[in-house]
């Protein structure tokens, strides 16, 4: 059985290895220099058994795939009512970095766009930015099963060119969504987006996207360590928002064609969850006009159908 699954995974990757559509993310200068040919595919069963194909050990930055995890952490730490008062759950139909809020509530429309993600960072408890970041890092590392580190060059690049996110943060402060200094919240946000991960999980004890997905797929229990990272209610809400909002303004197409909770990032990664069964992590840095990995979207959608 394992041989058949591996063969199928390799087949999926081979079918999409020639994809040259899309472009690298250039608005973060450091991301414009990555190898456009990188292509890794990983699948983790809920018991922790891992399959991998291609460039599964290549590290890349997590970027917006961080969003559901910080949202889950905020839900876990302060409760759903407190989070819902600051962040909505409705699809926005807008670009991920749109400078906008809900017209009536003046809060971010959902946690999977930048406005909602920045607000989620501000809701994670911490007396200082470093304390808040340490809590986020500990949570991500618990999901991954090993300590995660940031890419300092990408962090510096994001911080230097993050004017649009600064505009979003100050807008949120003006509407009473952010508590504290917007620049301090943004510094944590830039750092969390700069965590280095790969598409290989569990078997290499790496911080892979598929492994993070497997953690969610088991109701918050890390499949390798058996440690409960968060509770089922938090996971259910997180997965629900991933279904409706995780693929930016292509979320409707993804939900109708694939149906799995998923999240993409401009670093080229996609994480997808088949709840209770498996997690998928894909890396291919060429993006479509929505900001989603072209080859990654195709592969992630094909994996569970085998």
Residues designated as active site: 64, 67, 189, 248, 266
Indicate the pairing of strand 262-264 with strand 196-197.
unpaired
d(CA 111, CA 303): 26
Both tokens of residue 177?
A: 């969504």
d(CA 187, CA 119): 13
Q: 276 Cβ partners below 8 Å, 6+ apart?
A: 46, 217, 218, 219
102-133 burial string, b = 16+ CB within 10 Å, else e? Answer: beeeebbbbbbbbbbbbbbbbbbebeebeebb
According to DSSP, the residues that pair with 41 across neighbouring strands are 53, 282
Q: Is 158 annotated as a binding residue?
A: yes
Q: 3-class DSSP state for residue 32?
A: helix
According to DSSP, the residues that pair with 23 across neighbouring strands are 287
Q: Is 266 annotated as a binding residue?
A: yes
Residue 276, Cβ density class (10 Å: 0-12 exposed, 13-18 middle, ≥19 buried): exposed
Indicate the pairing of strand 262-264 with strand 278-283.
unpaired
CB 148 within 8 A of CB 134: no
* Cα–Cα nearest to 204, from 64, 66, 60, 44: 44
Q: Is 64 annotated as a binding residue?
A: yes
d(CA 261, CA 242): 5
Q: Is 49 annotated as a binding residue?
A: no
Q: Is 189 annotated as a binding residue?
A: yes
The label of the residue with tokens 């690049």 reads 157
Query: Which residues fall in the annotated binding site for substrate?
Result: 64, 114, 158, 165, 189, 248, 266
């Amino acid at each position: 059985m394992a041989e058949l699954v591996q063969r199928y995974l390799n087949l999926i990757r081979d079918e999409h290895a020639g994809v040259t559509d899309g472009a690298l993310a250039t608005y973060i200068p450091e991301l414009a220099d990555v190898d456009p040919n990188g292509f890794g595919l990983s699948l983790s069963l809920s018991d922790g058994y891992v399959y991998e194909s291609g460039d599964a050990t290549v590290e890349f930055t997590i970027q917006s795939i961080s969003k559901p995890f910080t949202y889950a952490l905020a839900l876990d730490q302060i409760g759903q009512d407190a989070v819902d008062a600051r962040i909505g759950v409705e699809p926005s139909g807008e670009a991920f970095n749109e400078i906008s809020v809900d017209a009536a509530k003046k809060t971010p429309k959902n946690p999977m766009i930048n406005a909602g993600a920045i607000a989620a960072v501000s809701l994670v408890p911490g007396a200082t930015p470093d304390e808040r970041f340490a809590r986020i890092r500990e949570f991500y590392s618990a999901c991954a099963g090993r300590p995660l580190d940031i890419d300092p060059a990408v962090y510096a690049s994001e911080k230097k060119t993050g004017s649009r996110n600064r505009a979003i943060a100050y807008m949120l402060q003006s509407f009473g969504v952010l508590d504290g200094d917007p620049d301090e919240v943004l510094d944590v946000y830039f750092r969390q987006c700069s965590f280095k991960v790969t598409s290989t999980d569990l078997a290499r004890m790496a911080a892979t996207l598929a492994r993070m997905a497997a953690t969610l797929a088991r109701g918050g229990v890390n499949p390798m360590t058996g440690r409960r990272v968060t509770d089922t209610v938090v996971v259910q809400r997180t997965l629900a928002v991933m279904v409706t909002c995780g693929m930016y303004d292509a979320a409707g197409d993804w939900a109708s064609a694939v149906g799995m909770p998923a999240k993409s990032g401009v670093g080229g990664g996609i994480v997808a969850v088949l709840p209770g069964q498996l997690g998928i992590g894909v890396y291919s840095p060429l993006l479509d006009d929505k900001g989603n990995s072209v080859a990654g979207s195709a592969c992630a959608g094909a994996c569970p159908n085998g």
